[in-house]
Chains A and B, each alone.
Chain A
């Protein structure tokens, strides 16, 4: 069962509104390598994991990713706070505003809607864990790109923290993969 705790995992602050940056960070909400994709991936794949260690790590990282969705959505809202009509239009967010006002929606930075095709659940733990390690690296690369797109030190701080989490998750998945590989060579699997 899942439950909500009324706090962010890590503080999200911005120095100034920045509509252009809001549009860019939305990529980590509803983009292919965003937090929604990661969470749905892991929380789905855990059902076919053979080891308690990997069931646990997928459950707990998949849950943490839900908290990251909340952080990215909060960043989006804060970056848009106080934006004028002209600023929205100038940053290419006129169409977005017409559809969603300033509510975060599951889109990437180019407005492509999120889809289940961004996720994988092969049923094979080795295939899934390799997929997850790749997913974490793609998310790390995206955060690095986002860090390059802003000069705001507070926004950079939040993005750097999220980037670090991708690295930790990559390491934990790597350990999970090693455990599953040891387990399958011992012929206890298949």
Chain B
């Protein structure tokens, strides 16, 4: 059933965008953990804002092109692409 073409340009582009999302989400997560114990730290707050803003942009672009990453994202296409993009354990 699963037969992703790992050499296609589209697959490579998807992997690049996923890596970018992983980087930004990790940065946002790590600053959030810090903020959980330092809720008033202005530098951490600034960084968290920066990372989450960038994350939203990259995620929106990814979902527009490859379908929803979560079931609460908007599907802009005319079918539910959520189930068909590569599952994490199959990439």
Asked whether B87 is an interface residue with its Cβ less than 8 Å from the other chain, the reply is: yes
Q: Report if A55-B83 is in contact (Cβ < 8 Å); known contacts: A50-B1, A60-B71, A188-B1.
A: yes
Q: Is A53 a contact of B89 with CB atoms below 8 Å?
A: no
Q: Which of B2, B25, B83 contacts A56 (CB 8 A)?
A: B83
Count of residues in B whose CB is under 8 Å from the partner chain: 9
Chain A residues positioned under 8 Å from B25 (CB to CB)? 1
- Chain B positions 43-91 with a Cβ under 8 Å from a chain A Cβ: 71, 82-84, 87, 89
A107 to chain B, nearest CB (A): 28
Asked whether A130 is an interface residue with its Cβ less than 8 Å from the other chain, the reply is: no
CA distance A60 to B87 in the complex (A): 13
Q: Mark A36-67, 1 if CB is under 8 A from B, else 0.
A: 00000000000100111101100010000000
Q: Is A52 a contact of B87 with CB atoms below 8 Å?
A: yes
Sort A-B residue pairs by CB-CB distance and give the 7 closest, nearest first: A52-B83, A56-B83, A52-B84, A55-B87, A60-B71, A47-B89, A50-B1
Chain B residues positioned under 8 Å from A1 (CB to CB)? 25
Chain A residues positioned under 8 Å from B71 (CB to CB)? 60
CA distance A59 to B63 in the complex (A): 19
CA distance A188 to B1 in the complex (A): 8
- Chain A positions 152-190 with a Cβ under 8 Å from a chain B Cβ: 183, 188
CA distance A21 to B59 in the complex (A): 44
Chain B residues positioned under 8 Å from A60 (CB to CB)? 71
A76 to chain B, nearest CB (A): 24
CA distance A119 to B71 in the complex (A): 25
A126 to chain B, nearest CB (A): 15
Closest to A55 in B: B87
Q: Is A52 a contact of B1 with CB atoms below 8 Å?
A: yes
Chain A residues positioned under 8 Å from B83 (CB to CB)? 52-53, 55-56
A sample of 5 cross-chain residue pairs with beta-carbon separation below 8 angstroms, ordered by A number, consists of: A1-B25, A52-B2, A52-B83, A55-B83, A56-B83
